[in-house]
Amino acid sequence: MKRIPLHQIWYFVFVLSGAVFVFIARSTFNEYILSIINFVGIYIILAVSLNITNGFTGLFSLGHPGFMAIGGYMTSVLTFPVAKKAMFLELPGWLSHLALPFLPALLIGGVCASLTAFVIGVPVLRLRGHYLAVATLGFLIIVQVLITNWESVTRGPLGMNGLPALTHLWWVYAWVVITLYVSWKIKFSSYGRSMLAIREDPLAAQCVGTRLFRTRVVSLALGAFFAGIAGGLWAHLVTAITPASFSLVLAFHIVVMVVVGGSGSISGAFVAAVLFSTITELFRPLEESLDAYGIGEILMALILILILIYRPTGIFGTREPGFLTAKST
């Protein structure tokens, strides 16, 4: 009989305890706390998916909110009730009579984000380092300008409101698990190894036969897919979506999570996402009772500085905690 390796038991324990947590949370917590947990989940998806692009392959991308926006708007247009479409939007005929269930709409949103990543990846990924960061920043601005001015479909700066509140904790939980699973599988496959190799030394990686350009495009598109999904979940949690939400500030938030967690570490991205999306909420009662708003932000910045001083490689570095990895590696 083959013994199940210890680390796989741990995976099972985590997935199960997550499910138990979701079940208990849904029956005990009020909507405010539930919505915070939902946002934490969405940030986990964002950080872990950016980690594929930014952490594994070392492509410093600031375009993540752009992909989120594409996914979010796409999903919102698809799920928007037909009656409301007539009132608010001017869509082409076939689209105005279409209202899809949540799952297909989410998947289409994710795929659209991913396709966009392919299209922009081909020219942009010929750039390196700072140049790539600036190019992806440009992409983010193009997306924002487009949705701000494409009023017949996006309602411009006012955004789309009154979306059905479809996102709940089970949806978020399922996508967190899927994101983690895919990301984990990639990291410990030969494909993931070649991604890490590209990050460390592109020339050496190319010498051992890694297809540099293709791997880069795939890692961008894969990150974009999950960003698109996160955008869809986000829109149906807030029930409103505006271009201003997908700003450079959000891009920095997600990049900070990846850097603090440790570039390339999935557990790190996970922990940092939880940390940075709850800390400002934790300090809310203090802000409200002292009338000193903004303490949470200051503390967050302080923690960021401390971590970068004492652990410049992030909380976990590129590694994962030992008990979660197979012994042979």
Partner 1 sequence: MKAKWQIVMLSAVLAVILSAPVMGADTIKLGGLYNLTGGMSSIDAPALNGAKLQAKLINEAGGVLGKNLEVIGIDTKTDQKAAATGAKKALAMGVVAGLGYGDTTFVMAAAPLFQKKGVPFVTSGATHPMLPKWVGDYMFMVPFGDDDQSFAIAEYTVNKLGAKKVAVWTDNSMDFTKALSKFYKQRITELGGTIVLEDFFMMGDKDFSAQIARLKNADPAPEAVFVSAIPNEAGLTVKQIREAGLTLPIVSGDGFDTELVTTVPGDKLANDVYFSTHTYREDNRPEVLAFVKAYEKEYNRPPENAFAALGFDAVGLIADAIKRANSTDGKALRDALAATKGFKAVTGEISYTRPSGVPMKGVSIISVKNGKYKVEEVWYPKN
Interface characters, 230-269, with partner 1 (x: CB under 8 A) = ----x--xxxxxx-xx------------------------
Nearest one of 130, 143, 139, 141 to 60, comparing CA atoms: 130
Q: 135 Cβ partners below 8 Å, 6+ apart?
A: 124, 127
What is the DSSP annotation of 90-101?
A: ---HHHHT----
Counting contacts by CB under 8 A, is residue 162 touching partner 1? Answer: yes
Q: Residue 15 or 295: which CB sits closer to partner 1?
A: 295
Query: With respect to partner 1, which residue has the nearer C-beta, 151 or 200?
Result: 151
In the complex, the smallest distance separating the C-beta of residue 311 from partner 1, rounded to whole angstroms, is 9
Q: Tell me the C-alpha distance between 57 and 35, whole Å.
A: 32
Asked if residues 127 and 59 have their Cβ atoms less than 8 Å apart, the reply is no
Bridge partners (DSSP) of residue 240 are: 161
- Residue 297 within binding range of partner 1, rule CB under 8 A: yes
Least distance from C-beta 7 to partner 1, angstroms? 26
The answer to the question of residue 90 lying near partner 1 (CB under 8 A) is no
Q: Are 239 and 161 in contact (CB under 8 A)?
A: yes
Question: Which CB sits closer to partner 1, 115 or 153?
Answer: 153
- If you compute the radius of gyration of the chain from its CA atoms, what whole number of angstroms results? 20
234 is written with which tokens? 């986000």
Count interface residues toward partner 1 (CB under 8 A).
Answer: 41
* Shortest distance, position 153 Cβ to partner 1, whole Å: 16
In the list 19, 36, 134, 308, the residue contacting partner 1 (rule: CB under 8 A) is 36
Pairing of strands 240-241, 160-161: antiparallel
Min dist. Cβ of residue 68 to partner 1 (A): 12
User: What's the CA gap between 208 and 193, in Å, rounded?
Assistant: 12
313 binds partner 1 (CB under 8 A): no
Whether the CB-CB separation of 59 and 219 falls below 8 Å is answered with yes
Interface with partner 1, residue 96, by CB under 8 A: no
Residue 81 binding partner 1, by CB under 8 A: no
**How many residues in total does the chain contain?**
329
Binding to partner 1 by residue 31, rule CB under 8 A?
yes
Contact segment (CB under 8 A) with partner 1 among 9-17, 97-105, 175-183, 298-306 equals 298-306
Of the candidate spans 28-36, 121-129, 180-188, 263-271, the one that interacts with partner 1 by CB under 8 A turns out to be 28-36
Amino acid sitting at position 44: I
Closer by beta carbon to partner 1, 204 or else 306: 306
d(CA 147, CA 68): 12
Question: Computed from CA positions of residues 51, 38, 159, 296, in that sequence, does the dihedral angle turn out positive or negative?
Answer: negative
Among 4, 310, 327, 328, binds partner 1 (CB under 8 A): 310
For position 142 contacting partner 1 by CB under 8 A, the verdict is: no
Interface with partner 1 (CB under 8 A): 30-36, 39, 148, 156-159, 161-162, 234, 237-242, 244-245, 281-289, 291, 293-294, 297, 299, 303, 306, 310
